[in-house]
Amino acid sequence: MLASIQSDLENAAKNLGAGPWQVFRDILFPLSIPGIVTGVVLVFIGIFGDFAINTVAGPNYPPSLAIRMYAYAHTFNDWGQAACIAIIIIISSMIYAWIITRVARFATR
């Protein structure tokens, strides 16, 4: 995403007296927010939505939260622990979705 930002913007800011930190803070970072949001979303999907991939072809260690939840429910027959992991996944997903929508609104201004 940073490669697609025109270098003319950076050069213009430097010509107007902006330092390296100001160029990053005022030009590069705001223009790279959509790419950052996309990368964070893809990582989040990989962390919490990975049950099918890890079950079929993924690594056995360290187990993800979804794999742990399944193991507690079906292998150890501890449904309370599995429900606790499920609530952690749901609450963190809701918080994450709220943060991402706030960042996306900021990025589209």
Q: Please state the domain extents for the chain.
A: 2-107
Residues in the chain: 109
What is the model's pLDDT at position 88?
A: 92
What is the model's pLDDT at position 86?
A: 92
What is the model's pLDDT at position 49?
A: 67
Conformational region of residue 77, where left means phi above 0, alpha means psi within -120 to 50, and beta covers everything else: left
Q: Is 13 helix (H, G, I), strand (E, B) or coil?
A: helix
What is the model's pLDDT at position 76?
A: 95
What is the model's pLDDT at position 1?
A: 58
CA distances for 66 relative to 31, 34, 54, 56, angstroms: 35, 28, 9, 13
SS (HEC) of 70-100: HHHHHHCCCHHHHHHHHHHHHHHHHHHHHHH
**This prediction's pTM:** 0.63
Angle subtended by helix axes 29-48 and 79-107, to nearest 10: 160
Residues (pLDDT < 50) of the chain are: none
